Amino acid sequence: MARGKQKEQAREKAQKLAEARSGGKSQLEARAKGLQLKCPVCKTPAANYKVVVQHMEAKHPKEAIPPETAFQTHCEKQDYTVCYVRLLNSTGTKDPSTGVSWCPDCVRADPLIHRCARPDSVLVEVPVGTRSEYKGRPDNPYKTHPRIQLKAIPTLIKWSVTGSDDDKRLVEYECANEDALSELFSE
């Protein structure tokens, strides 16, 4: 048990941490922008077509699954020229016993990405699956996608609407580099 000056210092430190946390920006609006696809039956929001298919197979097995062309991508619908797409292990694949992602690089990079992100940037979190679904699986849809071509996580892609040649990305340890993140978000 802390006494005297230690107790006072601990209280001050906790107060400073609480003040720092309270100044953070909510990502709820960005999340809502990222969930642009909706189940045609129950209107449940989804991040991408694959999630819609999984949802339809699980919740509406008797319904026909609409083709992918029926959905436009998030970036194509917006009137801005750049959106930031962050591909990493997100909430759906956290270890239930600890509440922490299986990817230590993602855990390290996540707070830095949120701190460096501009208020007008759109961060779309895309889960790559559980460890067994991602590691050693060359058929993972994000690894085989012609534009994403995921090599490692976390990956932060500055997705350009003008085409994949203009995309910029940070991979693995680069996502935990504050200077690299600031440069990516300032462009």
Residue 120 pLDDT class (50, 70, 90 cuts): confident
177-186 long-range contacts, CB within 8 A, separation 24+: 178/112, 178/115, 178/116, 181/112, 181/113, 181/116, 181/156, 182/116, 184/84, 184/156, 184/158, 185/84, 185/116, 185/117, 185/118, 185/121, 186/118
User: Quick check: is 75 catalytic?
Assistant: no
**Higher local confidence (pLDDT), 19 or 115:** 115
Find the mean pLDDT for residues 152-164: 77
Distance CA 40, CA 102 (A): 32
Q: What is the rounded average pLDDT for all residues in the chain? A: 75
User: Quick check: is 103 catalytic?
Assistant: yes
- pLDDT at residue 70 tops 50: yes
Q: Are 168 and 175 in contact (CB under 8 A)?
A: no
Q: Estimate the crossing angle of helix 104-116 against helix 178-186, to 10 degrees.
A: 50
Supply the CATH classification number for the domain 74-187: 3.40.30.10
Which pairing describes strands 37-38 and 45-46: parallel, antiparallel, or unpaired? antiparallel
Chain CA centroid to CA 146, Å: 19
- Top CATH class of 28-71 equals alpha beta
Distance CA 156, CA 160 (A): 13
The pLDDT, as a whole number, for residue 28 is: 65
- pLDDT at residue 162 tops 50: yes
Q: What is the per-residue pLDDT across 31-66, written as a single tens digit (0 to 9) for each?
A: 666 667 778 788 788 877 888 888 888 888 888 887
Tokens representing 166 are 């203009």
pTM greater than the 0.85 cutoff: no
- pLDDT at residue 80 tops 60: no
The pLDDT, as a whole number, for residue 75 is: 43
The pLDDT, as a whole number, for residue 131 is: 79
The pLDDT, as a whole number, for residue 25 is: 60
Question: Which residue ranges make up each domain of the chain?
Answer: 28-71, 74-187
Tokens representing 165 are 């040649």
Share of the chain above pLDDT 90, in %: 0
Active site residue: 42, 83, 106, 175, which one? 106
Active site residue: 75, 83, 103, 175, which one? 103
